């Protein structure tokens, strides 16, 4: 398998954590795509992912899988423990719902702030910016962190009692947020306890 990525970015980080959790990292060749240089917008890469985004997983038969949730779904069914996407229909539904909410309201919101209300990737790539909307997305991300802190007062992980893909997405959101000075409130004790738990996992250390 190959993973096309730009290592410093949050979405490739999500896939790397999933690979480490599943013990599959040594089965993957990582291919770096020069996103700041615009390589992801060139025909060669667009043939792999018309959306022009990393990461992309290439299987041995040439199948290309984009979107982190889809890549993690594939990896989770490729090899046993730990299960990242749920065992029962109810678990799978709750994890999918929670993951999507965190992706939209934290990770994507931080990304929108980065691309619209900061210099982002630079003028050559940021061809359209709406600073007011970007600032609004920052507010959305901060509100999401507050609500997640409340949720974590009732359970150890984002989607319940077990570590899942929802936690991986939140880890990426926090990493990206710290890059642009968006983070949990000083008194968000439950969120910070969660951070200590997930950051202590071997996948995060790797």
CA-to-CA distance for 34 and 22, rounded, in angstroms?
A: 27
In the chain, domain spans: 2-78, 89-205
CA atoms of 140 and 47, how far apart (whole Å): 34
Q: Do the domains 2-78 and 89-205 sit in the same CATH topology, yes or no? A: no
Closest CA to 17 of 122, 167, 184, 186: 167
Task: List the one residue out of 154, 18, 172 whose CA is nearest residue 102.
Answer: 172
- Tell which CATH classification among 1.20.1050.10, 2.30.30.700, 1.10.3300.10, 3.20.20.70 matches the domain 89-205: 1.20.1050.10
| Token pair recorded at residue 91 | 């678990």
pLDDT tens sequence across 156-165: 999 999 999 9
| pLDDT for residue 108 is more than 80 | yes
Residue 8 binned pLDDT confidence (cut-offs 50, 70, 90): confident
Pick the CATH number of 2-78 from 3.40.30.10, 1.25.40.80, 1.10.275.10, 3.30.70.260: 3.40.30.10
């Amino acid at each position: 398998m190959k993973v096309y990525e730009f290592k410093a970015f949050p979405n490739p980080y999500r896939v790397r954590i999933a690979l480490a959790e599943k013990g599959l990292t040594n089965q993957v060749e990582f291919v770096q795509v020069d996103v700041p240089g615009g390589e992801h917008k060139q025909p060669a890469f667009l043939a792999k992912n018309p959306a022009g985004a990393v990461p992309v997983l290439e299987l041995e038969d040439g199948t290309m899988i984009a979107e982190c949730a889809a890549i993690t779904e594939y990896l989770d069914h490729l090899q046993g423990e730990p299960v990242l996407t749920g065992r029962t229909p109810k678990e799978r539904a709750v994890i999918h719902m929670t993951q999507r909410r965190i992706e939209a309201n934290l990770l994507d919101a931080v990304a929108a702030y980065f691309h619209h209300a900061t210099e982002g990737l630079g003028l050559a790539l940021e061809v359209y910016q709406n600073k007011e909307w970007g600032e609004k997305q920052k507010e959305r991300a901060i509100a999401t962190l507050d609500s997640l802190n409340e949720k974590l007062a009732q359970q150890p992980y984002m989607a319940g009692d077990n570590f899942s893909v929802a936690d991986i997405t939140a880890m990426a959101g926090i990493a990206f947020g710290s890059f642009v000075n968006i983070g949990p409130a000083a008194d968000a004790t439950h969120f910070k306890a969660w951070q200590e738990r997930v950051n202590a996992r071997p996948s995060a250390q790797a």
